[in-house]
Amino acid sequence: MIKLTIDNKIVEVEKGTTIYKAAKKVGIDIPVLCYMDLADLGIEHKPGGCRICVVEVEGRRNLAPSCSTEVTEGMVVNTHSIRVLNARRIVMELILSDHPKECLVCPKSGNCELQSIAIKLGIRDIPYQEISEMSTYRVDFSPSIIRNMDKCIMCRRCETMCNEFQTVGALSAVNRGFMSVVAPAFEMDLEDSVCTYCGQCVAVCPTAALTEVDHTNKLIRDLANPNKTVIVQTAPAVRAALGEEFGLEPGTLVTGKMVSALRQLGFKYVFDTDFAADLTIMEEGTELLERLSKHLKGDKNVKLPILTSCCPGWVNFFESQFTDMLDIPSTARSPQQMFGAIAKTYFAQKINVKREDLIVVSIMPCLAKKYECQRDEFKVNGNPDVDYSISTRELASLIKRANISFNSLQDDDFDAPLGESSGAGVIFGATGGVIEAAVRTAYELFTGKSLEKVDFKELRGMEGIRQATIDFGGTPINIGIAHGLGKARQLLESIRKGESNFHAIEIMACPGGCIGGGGQPLHHGKTEILKKRMEAIYREDEGKTIRKSHENPYIIKLYEEFLGKPMSDKAHKLLHTHYVDKKKRIIYI
């Protein structure tokens, strides 16, 4: 243990602790900006670049960055001497001198870390603005993410997420000195880069340099259009996080309030993506069983393991980085797209609305979904199955805009027929959930026996890569799970080398699965929030009477009335897709 003094308080901490963490232990909150500690994800980002967190250490020539300076025995630290306060203010003024002053209309206003620190430091003036040149860049609009690098403060968090955590490598620091910035290669459009739109860069950006494409105004216009029938689907992870935007404890389930709010906003039908998740299990589970039985019969050409395909960030990832393995993932569309396809056919017929007059909106914890619903494969004569996707954050903003007192709303129920779901559909929102849902169904279909217990705790957790073997009535089935694309890469590389013996693998691009999606309320580095959301998801599952997808009566009815059976021709046309080699597209800019 090491003993030191911080602001006259004696602190004892373990060797290797930073001044910042030691101070925190005694309630001294040193402001940090570029620093980011995602402890549960194994990422501590401390480039020591912003210099906001500097403190005075006795006997040291210059000020020390507290985020990355380790404590030493007998160290005497002052976090608010005149020298420190002056330096911190000047550093902040410098950052602001190269930052647009348009806070009033900035999408991050009120939720901006730069703004919070400016307030905390009492900045009232930015001197010499008239002679201060700003580093400015072209604004880059992609289907999911907007890059406005004028607002970049070079904290480099996005670079860490994109490279170290996700291993996507779309973003890197480029240029040097005053014009240095984080950007894709050649400062090309994100759309032309290897970006997967996972949105983890957006999730950690302290300013509005990286934000989502906002569809709320479009939605308001559509809702007001009497000629359109606007329906909505909500993803499982949204209900476990939306409450945070209204000051509720992380992990509070707000399913009923959310449905109520959506109805108040004017949606004609409020449906649940969980219904489509059940549908996904029917298709993907059947595909798994088909491949499995061929494999067990000794067919050498069958591709195993089967990889889940519900996560659009993950789909983008393998389409651009593992183009030699495009035939391994399941061909099942994601729940969002299955929902859209069913809504604009089966449901549209039911309510007798023309396809082009039906607008399907999705509420997603995800930014890649915005891109996914724009893919050509998911359009019929140019009309998309899902018209657009808005994030959890956008929904919260919309609810606030509409004067809806969210916390005092009465619970409400989803509409039928696309609002009913099993617990299996719910757990899609957490890492391991898709595969657990699949196991619940596949086990019963494979063995013909009923499961005694539906909870597969061995598949749950926050470990980046997990594996388990499930006994399918004497046949051991090896399951792999990865969340975060960096972990996915590890699994894929082992498959490529032929070292893997998995039968099925679930992959989610975001940490913790969809609950940690790029469209969720910002966790500002508090990764314990992800765990709380996860617990909420499993609570919702436990509360359901139906826990297995194939027992969802509306799913059964959908197959009877419309699709026939899983993997039927019609199901193929509406619920399956194919993958494209995006490397070809990326080569030429």
Partner 1 sequence: MSNIKVELKKNQVDKIKEICKSFNNNPGELINALHKVQSTFGYLPAEVQEVVSQEMDVPLSKVYGVVTFYSFFSMIPKGKYPISICTGTACYVRGAETVLQEFKKELGIEVGETTADGKFSIGCLRCVGACGLAPVVMVGEKTYGRVSPEMVKDIIKEYNE
Partner 2 sequence: MSDYKLHLLVCGGTGCKASQSELIYENLKKEIGNEGLSDFAQVVRTGCFGFCEKGPIVKIIPDNTFYTQVKPEDAKEIVAEHIVKGRKVERLLYTDPVAKKTAGSTREIGFYKKQVRIALRNCGIIDPENIGEYISRDGYEALGKVLTELSPADTIKIIKDSGLRGRGGAGFPTGLKWELAAKSPGNEKYVVCNADEGDPGAFMDRSILEGDPHTVIEAMAICGYCIGADKGLVYIRAEYPLAIERLKTAIKQAREYGLLGNNILGSKFSFDIELRYGAGAFVCGEETALIHSMEGGRGEPTLKPPFPAVSGYLGKPTNVNNVETFANIPVILTKGAEWFSSIGTEKSKGTKVFALAGKINNVGLIEVPMGITLREVIFEIGGGIKNGKKFKAVQTGGPSGGCLTEKHLNIPIEYETLVAAGSMMGSGGMIVMDEDDCMVDFAKFFLEFSVEESCGKCTPCRIGNKRLHELLDRICKGNGAPEDIDRLINLSYVIKDTALCGLGQASPNPVLSTLEHFRHEYDAHIIDKKCPAGVCKALMTYEIVPENCVGCTACARACPVGAITGERKQIHKIDPKLCIKCGACLERCKFNAVIVN
Does the footprint of partner 2 cover residue 19 (CB under 8 A)?
no
Q: Which of 73, 105, 125, 176 binds partner 1 (CB under 8 A)?
A: 176
Look up residue 250 and give its two tokens.
């992380």
Under rule CB under 8 A, residue 469 binds partner 1: no
70 touching partner 2, by CB under 8 A: yes
Helix axes 433-447, 273-296, angle to 10 degrees: 50
Using the structure block, give the residue that is written with the tokens 């090491």.
2
Tell me which amino acid residue 209 is: A
Answer yes or no whether residue 148 interacts with partner 1 by CB under 8 A: no
The least distance separating partner 1 from the CB of residue 196, rounded to whole angstroms, comes to: 13
Q: Does 65 bind partner 2 (CB under 8 A)?
A: yes
Active site residue 284: yes
95 binds, among partner 1, partner 2, none (CB under 5 to 8 A by kind): partner 2
Q: Which of 72, 132, 136, 175 binds partner 1 (CB under 8 A)?
A: 175
Q: Which residues make beta-bridge pairs with 360?
A: 231
Burial class for 128, CB neighbours closer than 10 Å (0-12, 13-18, 19+): exposed
Which listed option, partner 2, partner 1, none, makes contact with residue 90 (CB within 5 to 8 Å by class)?
partner 2
What CA–CA distance (Å, rounded) separates 167 from 159? Answer: 10
Residue 428 corresponds to which tokens in the numbers above?
């899609």
Q: Does 62 bind partner 2 (CB under 8 A)?
A: yes
Q: With respect to partner 2, which residue has the nearer C-beta, 179 or 416?
A: 179
CB 433 within 8 A of CB 455: no
202 vs 289 by CB, closer to partner 1: 202
Which residues neighbour 48 within 8 Å (Cβ) at sequence distance 6 or greater? Answer: 34, 65, 67, 68
Q: How far apart are CA 4 and CA 66, in angstroms?
A: 14
Residue 54, interface with partner 2 (CB under 8 A)?
A: yes
Instruction: Please choose which of partner 2, partner 1, none residue 149 contacts, taking the beta carbon within 5 to 8 angstroms, the exact cut-off set by kind.
Output: none
Q: Could you check whether the bond before residue 384 is cis, i.e. omega within 30 degrees of 0?
A: no
**In Å, how far from its chain's centre is CA 170?**
17
Computed over its alpha carbons, how large is the radius of gyration of the chain?
25
The residue assigned the tokens 């290797």 is 16
End-to-end CA gap in the chain: 55
- Distance in Å, CB of 496 to partner 2, minimum: 24
To the query of whether residue 377 is one of the catalytic residues in this protein, the response is yes
Residue 136 touches partner 1, criterion: CB under 8 A: no
Q: Which of 212, 283, 372, 540 is catalytic?
A: 372
DSSP lists the bridge partners of residue 384 as 379
Pick the catalytic residue: 50, 195, 310, 373? Answer: 310
Q: Taking each helix axis from N to C terminus, what angle separates 255-265 and 392-401, rounded to the nearest 10 degrees? A: 60
Query: In this complex, which beta carbon is closest to partner 2, that of residue 187 or of residue 458?
Result: 187
Residues in contact with partner 1 by the rule CB under 8 A = 163, 168-176, 183-188, 193-194, 587, 589
| Active site members | 284, 287, 310, 330, 369, 372, 377, 514
Residues that bind partner 2 (CB under 8 A): 47-52, 54, 62-63, 65, 68-70, 83, 86-87, 90-91, 94-95, 97-98, 127-128, 131-133, 153-154, 173, 175-180
